[in-house]
Structure 1
Amino acid sequence: MIRTALIVALAAAALPASASAAEPARPEAAAPAAKPKYSTAETDIGTLLDDPAAKAIIDKYIPGMTSNEQIEMARSMTLKAVQTYAPDDVTDERLAQIDADLAKLK
């Protein structure tokens, strides 16, 4: 019994001060996820076209859209809204891919 108590006491003394502190370690609070700069549901196409990096992302997933002569008429719309008029080109999958890439922009 004394031997066990002695081993426990020696082990506790060998621990760093923070490990033997009475207060348990608190997990770090997770930083809130930063809202993306742009999104296909909230950002108008005009804003995306005016940012070369965002425009390149659209070109990557929907080739030809930004060079279409009618794109200027859609500047005030979102890509999500345009999906109604071009569902074969502006698919949910492509919008998700665009959103993922747009989220990487700072």
Structure 2
Amino acid sequence: MTIKAIIVGSLLAVAAPVAAQTAPTATPAPSAVAPTHYTTSDTDLGTLMDDPASMAVLNKHIPEMFKSEQINQARSMTLKEVSAYASDTLTDQLLASVDADLAKLPSKK
């Protein structure tokens, strides 16, 4: 028997009982972890644009962004993702301001 086989066998002998004793962890329900407010990092632009209240927030902070028809091509992206392509316009400070105003809106289900 080689040293490698002895080590592997020893590890398996120790790991098997430990694995058998490990209790499964409960997975929280999706609704328990889902955000209740829109955010620039978790909510896609399409959702924000379709909600009149959140669209008002976007128009307050970045109205020029929504004057172009091309914005529809980014509906599946978050503002945070879009900021990677427009970091000079969509700064972290601007996104924080948008998030602060979005947090003031009524909770979403």
Q: Shorter-chain TM-score: which interval?
A: 0.5 to 0.7
CA distance in 1, matches of 2:36, 2:104: 8
The match for 2:95 is 95
The match for 1:54 is 54
The match for 2:41 is 41
The 5 Å alignment of 1:1-106 reads 35-106=35-106
Q: What is the TM-score normalised by the length of structure 2?
A: 0.63
Q: Name structure 1 gaps, 5 residues minimum.
A: 1-34
Q: Name structure 2 gaps, 5 residues minimum.
A: 1-34
Query: Which secondary structure state, in structure 2, belongs to the residue aligned with residue 65 of structure 1?
Result: helix
Identity of aligned residues (%): 57
Alignment coverage as a number of residue pairs: 72
- Structure number with the higher helix fraction is 2
Point out 4+ residue stretches in structure 1 off by more than 4 angstroms.
Answer: none
Checking the alignment, whether the CA contact within 8 Å between 1:55 and 1:66 is kept in structure 2 is no
Q: Deviations over 1:63-96 (max 9, x none)?
A: 2112211110000000000001111111101100
Give the number of the structure whose alpha-carbon radius of gyration is greater: 1
Q: What is the TM-score normalised by the length of structure 1?
A: 0.64
Query: Which secondary structure state, in structure 1, belongs to the residue aligned with residue 58 of structure 2?
Result: helix
Checking the alignment, whether the CA contact within 8 Å between 1:48 and 1:54 is kept in structure 2 is yes
Q: Deviations over 1:22-55 (max 9, x none)?
A: xxxxxxxxxxxxx542000000000000011111
Aligned AA for 2:43?
Answer: T
